[in-house]
Structure 1
Amino acid sequence: MVIPKPVFWRDSRMPYVELRKVADGRQVCYAPHSHTQWSIGAITEGQSTFCYRQDRCQVGAGDLVLINPDWVHACNPIDNQPWAYLMLYIDTQWLTALRYRLGLLKAPEWEDIGTAIISERRFYLGYCDLAACLLNSQESLAVKQAMISEYLADVMLSVEDEPLLLPDKMPGVLRELADYLDENAIKEITIEEMCLRCGYSAGHLIRTFKLHFNLTPHAYQVNRRIQQGQRELKQGRSIVDAALSAGFTDQPHFQRTFKRMIAATPNEYRQSSVKEKIDTAAHK
């Protein structure tokens, strides 16, 4: 049996949104990871486990999952049973501006959302209609833009009152270390260098960092590298160039790590970008 490949939809005229469609998720297994975008997914068939920071639960057809930017998560099949899903990745700055215009933020600065799961039928059906609209090459740009804005405004207005439970306040030295790793993601930074920067022992650093970021410092850095690789592939860069730009001198290592965290090969991800460029050129 041939497992359908994941489909990625993008449009350069709407750079703030990306859609992923997986028709059969039995071969889709994620390592814990995060995205720079805010994301919202819909389970369209079957069931899966949803791990979100320290929480773990089961979600099924009709459920929506909401994931804050940089929050570690993973969604995987249960006992190799069939399941399918759609996932929208929304640029954080764009969504921040939308929430601010709606009067949901006091300032145009991102605030995490407490809601993790929505099971209300109307939001699920609206999500499926939105995905069908985006995937429809015959639909106009204006309709797609209006539909994404209207749907997300409806969702944002419904979830803003949910409480947000967070771990204890993060030590400033950890935030500084994370910022340093962000700025130097493609460099090899040893645990010894990290310890010198924050004054922690290796064991204490790993435990404390994982408490606040849900990843070890090394996994955090690898996650950032893969995000850099995604950005390069979206621009149509070759897999070799994307790997080098993301700090991987070994292309097979990049491909294995990318597949483990994105549940798609770099080529599958890149092909959607190349196709989008061809389709856009054809409509000019």
Structure 2
Amino acid sequence: MKKNTFTKIFKDEKIPYLELRYTNSNKHYKKHFHDTFSLGINEQGVSIYTNNDKSYTLDENMLSIVNPYAVHSCNACSEVLNIYYMLYLDISWCKEVQKSIDDKVNEFTNIPLDILEDKVFYDEYLTLCKFLFSDNHISDKEDILIDFFIKFFSLFLDKTEDANTNKEFDKIVFFLEKNYKENISIKELSKFFNLNPYYIIRLFKSKINLTPHAFLINLKINKAKELLQQGHSISDTALECGFFDQSHFHKNFVKIVATTPKEYKLNFVQ
């Protein structure tokens, strides 16, 4: 009986530095290399993963780490179809994320491990991959992607400390509070404040454990709650708070308030 196989690729021109492969296969690949930084997991199945002259068993709760130009292969151990995710990232983008953590970084820094066994990172990576394939807005996808890789690269880099972080953080917060209606991108914040965009993200994560994008969404939702309490319609509220559309508003409202805008409008406690 022929086995049903599939391959899905996520790629978006708005985040061109990323490609995500989701597939099931028991094909055997020859040793090869990529000019990207790659990170992968088996969602189902066990593989033999080789990287240069070392060999590993890639199993549950393990991430395979492939630095640029590392000669590697990853093949199923049996005829059972493995289900796996493999993420390929442009090293220029990775370098900027790394530099936000350690300002001594001037070129991409190879990760000193071939495999990371860590259930927390495995689960977060799996969540990230599923989120990238979801119908969520691309800005939300980029947000969770950056959040994950700041945490991942921080495992292997020295963190830069800066005495000015409180002032920088306060200035950016004030700016976002005044401009919450706008969909301000991290690139716009970077240009306005003349700071590395990923440094800004790490700054917010260190201060309030939210990315700037997540903080801005929270500001929008807080204002939306006020407007709904005042009797504004859901469509007008979504528009007034600068959401891309009602679907974007609905998803983010439920995530933060744990109820729909309609239910909140009808049942909020004053």
| Equivalent residue letter for 2:104 | K
CA distance in 1, matches of 2:105, 2:50: 31
CA distance in 2, matches of 1:115, 1:160: 13
CA distance in 1, matches of 2:65, 2:33: 12
Task: Provide, for residues 186-223 of structure 1, a one-character-per-residue CA deviation record: whole Å limited to 9, x for no partner.
Answer: xxxxxxxxxxxxxxxxxxxxxxxxxxxxxxxxxxxxxx
CA distance in 1, matches of 2:78, 2:136: 38
Based on CA coordinates, which of the two structures has the bigger radius of gyration?
2
Is residue 6 from structure 1 mapped to residue 42 from structure 2 by the alignment?
Answer: no
Partner of 1:127: 125
CA distance in 2, matches of 1:61, 1:25: 17
Is residue 83 from structure 1 mapped to residue 78 from structure 2 by the alignment?
Answer: no
Partner of 2:106: 108
Partner of 2:25: 25
Task: Provide, for residues 142-185 of structure 1, a one-character-per-residue CA deviation record: whole Å limited to 9, x for no partner.
Answer: 11111100001111111348xxxxxxxxxxxxxxxxxxxxxxxx
CA distance in 1, matches of 2:4, 2:76: 14
Larger RCO of the pair (alpha carbons < 8 Å, separation 6+): 1
Task: Provide, for residues 207-240 of structure 1, a one-character-per-residue CA deviation record: whole Å limited to 9, x for no partner.
Answer: xxxxxxxxxxxxxxxxxxxxxxxxxxxxxxxxxx
Residue 108 of structure 1, CA deviation: 2.2
CA distance in 2, matches of 1:14, 1:158: 24
Residue 74 of structure 1, CA deviation: 0.2
3-state SS of the aligned residue for 2:45? strand
Where in structure 2 are there 5+ consecutive unaligned residues? Answer: 159-270
Task: Provide, for residues 90-126 of structure 1, a one-character-per-residue CA deviation record: whole Å limited to 9, x for no partner.
Answer: 11000001100111x5132122110111111110111
Task: Provide, for residues 12-52 of structure 1, a one-character-per-residue CA deviation record: whole Å limited to 9, x for no partner.
Answer: 11001110001x221x2211100010000011111010010
Give the conservation status (yes or no) of the 8 Å contact 2:41–2:122.
Answer: yes
Aligned length: 157
Is residue 143 from structure 1 mapped to residue 144 from structure 2 by the alignment?
Answer: no
Q: Structure 1 segments of 4 or more deviating over 6 A?
A: none
Partner of 2:193: none
Partner of 1:66: 65
CA distance in 2, matches of 1:37, 1:84: 22
Give the conservation status (yes or no) of the 8 Å contact 2:42–2:59.
Answer: yes
Give the conservation status (yes or no) of the 8 Å contact 2:101–2:157.
Answer: no
3-state SS of the aligned residue for 2:4? coil
Where in structure 1 are there 5+ consecutive unaligned residues? Answer: 162-284
Give the conservation status (yes or no) of the 8 Å contact 2:98–2:105.
Answer: no
CA distance in 2, matches of 1:106, 1:160: 10
| Equivalent residue letter for 2:121 | F
3-state SS of the aligned residue for 1:35? coil
CA RMSD of aligned residues (A): 1.4
- Are residues 129 and 142 of structure 1, via their aligned partners in 2, closer, same or farther at CA, if it must alter by over 3 Å? same
Identity of aligned residues (%): 24
| Equivalent residue letter for 2:126 | C
CA distance in 2, matches of 1:21, 1:65: 15
Partner of 1:263: none
